[in-house]
Chains A and B, each alone.
Chain A
């Protein structure tokens, strides 16, 4: 008993010492572990990017970075939570376009507003790619669209990651451009959408360029929703080349809680800039068909504002929000 009591006292002393030191060091940012929240399932694009960045980010910031997950509501849960988090820079979250623009528009109360999120950096984008299974009879986008036109509306299903995501919007745009009606099935993330196409539970999959590399053994990519072909995927034609005006994709970056001081945001943005210019990180991003971007806080905010106008027009046109 005596030993336990002594042990307990020592433990208390250590704990209070740690608390005191962390309090005095608070004026220098960063001085303690930073939490980097991922708003989607582990194994999805956001997670994989964060894992690529992890080591370099720790080096750039000089403190530990903890990657945690908060999944639900197509990311809305995590971003709503972020707006209620202490704005000290020690909690940041991966955030995505179009999600953070479209959700507040469509859902009424998504729990956050688009401009609530303080932009730090956009570091990558991934255009939408339409996939079918390797053994599918549809060899080209034209085959697929023609087959879909012959079916009653809604019989062809198209899986994708989350609601109001680039996958969801891309599917809607294709529906409109090709005069077809695919039923969009949202999954918890790209990681859980893949088995649905592998097992043939959906007709097609609207996913990201990364999957054109990762699943090339099993999937056939029909078209990419970028303006031009991607360097790493030279044989994959764009939707536009094939006569359908579909340009859509996701941007990924990090955001901080509203009210985070600009100095702190700058420190974080500089760290991400350093990470994204790290040749090791670049190599991994390129190999996996992530398009690297280098947008600091101002540029990121400008992109968000530009997308807010664009998506509002698209959503109205598609009839997904009231005119």
Chain B
């Protein structure tokens, strides 16, 4: 199970055969595409290709599927930056910062930084995977229901920093998001809540529909109202980021790679969760937190680095224990089992060629993705200059198709449009949108882990404070809440200044 350079070199020699290079390239391309298209996530991307396992040898197939997964994290930032539609839930903070940058005519550097951050985090994570996989795997199981609840609770406390100075409005926005997440059946018992006897509502509300509605549709409505002619009239001078950008983002990339990687080891911590956490951490470290929500390059770098680190980290528990940390990983697990490859500690012993070839291919895949993504930037940045009477309807079209393709339910389209209208009014009234998105992303895990924890403790909430890891998270959460409330009191008239929290 240990690491040896012989294994790694052998892995490279397998990964560098023309056949495996080809499938890695195909995977990277599909991954980028899947990332760019909203709604079609890596899960469906990989699942659609799963039947190919019948014809491909296992190493090639898994190399391709893995590259779709981490490739999607590269592509997810594109539409988030240029048209404010997060391609994946993990790109929501990217949309917050990137779209602001695009409006300032800096879409090019934003896209470049996104690709570079993805590359840096991806590569660092593969290095960690290469050298420490067996050791790190132990971390994946130290989290039980109370720890998950505490982590999710801390996640919710990010609402404070996402709300800016409009704290009360941020909390209302969060409550709305949580309520939306409650609609449907109880994840533990199946009891129906907030369905008002409607059979359609028992299915629940999909958070992709919420996100696309809140971001894309409300944005189009605002733009139409303002008779916007194009997203940015600024001349696109260069798509190259400046040295200041890179220097400013280096720390963010390294910190967020670590945060994203460590959280990514935990089953259930999908990139959508970790990107928010990393974004918040970065805001605290940043030298200019006031720039956040107004186009902070380091906030964008943090998000993109963390979602890539998370996607790579997921391979640690997958290979070591057969534990899928995210839906995409579960499909990959299915792929492994179709080949009769039993993931678990023995996989490193029984199939070292396979494991190390897949790991080696990730180094190659990350380089491929960088090469694939950088030249495309020139193409993407032109999108922001398309006249809005053409781009607007196109955005609505993409939003409709994307939302429908998640579950193939017309109901989701209505939900998306409804949240579009809600988002429009929220923006008009100065309610921040991000807390609502965050709450709807976290709602189910929060509720499930709360229920399980209280079953274990026979209803006593002290379980969250007596276990060391959950106690630390709870303490951090309460600190962050306390600090936010203190800042409100100090600001005296918090509700007057709401315009600095546009999202």
User: A residues engaging B (CB < 8 A)?
Assistant: 41-43, 47-48, 51-52, 54-55, 58, 67-70, 72-74, 76-77, 80-81, 84, 103, 107, 109-111, 154, 157, 163-164, 183-188, 191-192, 194-196, 198-202, 214-215, 217-218, 284, 287-288
Contacts and interface: CB of A to CB of B under 8 A. Distances in A.
A72 B184 contact: yes
Interface residues of B, number: 53
B141 A199 contact: yes
B425 interface: no
B241 interface: no
Most buried by B among A42, A111, A194: A42
Given A47-B334, A215-B344, A188 B202 contact: no
Contacts of B54: 55
Given A47-B330, A55-B51, A192-B268, A185 B345 contact: no
A214 B142 contact: no
Nearest to B137: A198
A217 B345 contact: yes
Contact of A73 (B143, B185, B455): B185
Most buried by A among B190, B267, B334, B346: B190
B223 interface: no
A48 B144 contact: no
B51 A110 contact: no
Contact of B186 (A68, A73, A215): A73
B331 interface: yes
Contacts of B145: 185, 196, 201
Interface stretch (B160-168, B306-314, B317-325): B317-325
A81 to B, nearest CB: 6
Given A42-B334, A202-B144, 16 more contacts: A42-B327, A55-B54, A67-B50, A69-B327, A70-B407, A72-B190, A76-B185, A76-B190, A111-B199, A185-B455, A186-B188, A192-B267, A194-B321, A195-B321, A201-B144, A284-B337
B452 A187 contact: yes
Interface in B168-222: 184-192, 199, 202-204
A54 B335 CA distance: 11
B456 A163 contact: no
B141 A195 contact: yes
B448 interface: yes
A51 B50 contact: yes
Given A76-B190, A191-B324, A195-B323, A43 B204 contact: no
Interface of B: 43, 47, 50-51, 54, 140-146, 184-192, 199, 202-204, 267-268, 317, 321-324, 327, 329-331, 333-335, 337-338, 340, 342, 344-346, 407-408, 448, 452, 455-456, 458
A199 B143 contact: yes
A49 to B, nearest CB: 10
Contacts of B43: 42
A51 B323 contact: no
Contacts of B334: 42-43, 47-48, 51
B203 A107 contact: no
A136 B204 CA distance: 40
A163 B144 contact: no
A212 B315 CA distance: 23
B187 A72 contact: yes
Nearest to B142: A199
Given A72-B187, A73-B185, A214-B342, A183 B448 contact: no
Nearest to A157: B456
Given A47-B330, A69-B327, A194-B323, A188 B455 contact: no
Contacts of B188: 74, 163, 186
A48 B337 contact: yes
Contacts of A200: 141, 144
Contacts of B323: 191, 194-195, 198
Contacts of B186: 73
Contact of A163 (B50, B189, B331): B189
Nearest to B455: A185
24 contacts: A41-B330, A42-B324, A47-B330, A51-B50, A55-B54, A67-B50, A72-B190, A73-B190, A77-B190, A183-B455, A183-B456, A185-B145, A185-B452, A187-B452, A191-B323, A191-B324, A195-B140, A195-B267, A198-B141, A199-B141, A214-B344, A215-B322, A218-B344, A284-B338
Contacts of B342: 214
A288 B204 CA distance: 34
Given A103-B190, A284-B340, A77 B203 contact: yes
Contact of B187 (A107, A154, A188, A287): A188
A202 B141 CA distance: 12
A246 to B, nearest CB: 22
Contacts of B191: 73, 107
Contacts of A42: 43, 324, 327, 330-331, 333-334
Contact of B51 (A54, A107, A188, A191): A54
B333 A43 contact: yes
A202 B144 CA distance: 9
A198 B324 contact: no
Contacts of A110: 190
A288 B336 CA distance: 13
Contacts of B142: 199
A120 B228 CA distance: 56
A77 B144 contact: no
A93 B326 CA distance: 22
A194 B320 CA distance: 13
A185 B268 CA distance: 17
A196 B408 CA distance: 33
Most buried by B among A103, A109, A198: A198
A183 B454 CA distance: 11
B197 to A, nearest CB: 9
Contacts of A103: 190
A68 B191 CA distance: 23
A35 to B, nearest CB: 8
A58 B55 CA distance: 14
A200 B185 CA distance: 29
A264 B87 CA distance: 39
B47 A67 contact: yes
B456 A185 contact: yes
Nearest to A47: B334
A184 B204 CA distance: 26
